[in-house]
Amino acid sequence: MSSPETGKKLAGDRCAPEPPGTKMTTARVLTRLTSRNNPRLLPPRVRPSPSRERRVYSCAFCRTHAAYHDDIISKAFQGRHGRAFLMNEVCNVTLGVHEERLLMTGMHTVRDVFCSGCGSLMGWQYVRAHDASQRYKEGKFIVEKAMVLHEGGW
Ligand SMILES: [Zn+2]
């Protein structure tokens, strides 16, 4: 019999051993007990590394999250205030009424997009493109670069 098992049982090997000479203080016992009942006291869950986290754009005025970097289709669009992003999706916005608007690429049915936190005009949504070559934008959003910030300094 050449089992690699030593058969030795370590008492308390599931817990980190206390350094010799220290006793568990009352405060520490209390923390352990409370943290079991209060999720906010538990250690933070393991999160993906920063490079894998979804990068967020937020409203430049009130910092409400507005969009994810992953949802950018193109950065080469033109808004009212300069550069703008074409995006698959935005969040925390309210939408205005449908309007016919003549844009650089022709006539479109659009509706304005406002931050739901502060009401700032962030861009617009393409509802319908009259020109067939522009149909790929239908349902997509324009977000003015000047109206959003990188959240978290990425
Ligand atoms: Zn806002």
* 22 and 43 both lie in a single domain: yes
Given the structure tokens 């967020």, which residue do they identify?
Answer: 56
AA identity, residue 148: V
Residue 38 has pLDDT above 90, yes or no: no
Mean of the pLDDT values across residues 99-127?
97
Residue 127 Cα to ligand 1 middle (Å): 23
* 44 and 60 both lie in a single domain: no
Q: Measured in Å, how far apart are the chain's first and last C-alpha atoms?
A: 59
Domain C-terminal end among 9, 29, 48: 48
State which residues form the domain around 146: 56-151
* φ and ψ at residue 24, rounded to 5 degrees: -65, 125
Quote the pTM value: 0.65
Residue 45, both tokens: 């869950």
* 137 and 117 both lie in a single domain: yes
d(CA 148, CA 139): 20
* 107 and 85 both lie in a single domain: yes
Residue 147 Cα to ligand 1 middle (Å): 9
Residue 78 Cα to ligand 1 middle (Å): 21
Residue 63 Cα to ligand 1 middle (Å): 6
Angle (CA) 42 44 48, round 5°: 155
Q: Nearest to residue 106, comparing CAs of 85, 131, 84?
A: 131
Residue 33, both tokens: 């007990």
Mean of the pLDDT values across residues 107-131?
97
Q: How many domains does the chain have?
A: 2
* 61 and 131 both lie in a single domain: yes
AA identity, residue 61: F
Residue 72 Cα to ligand 1 middle (Å): 19
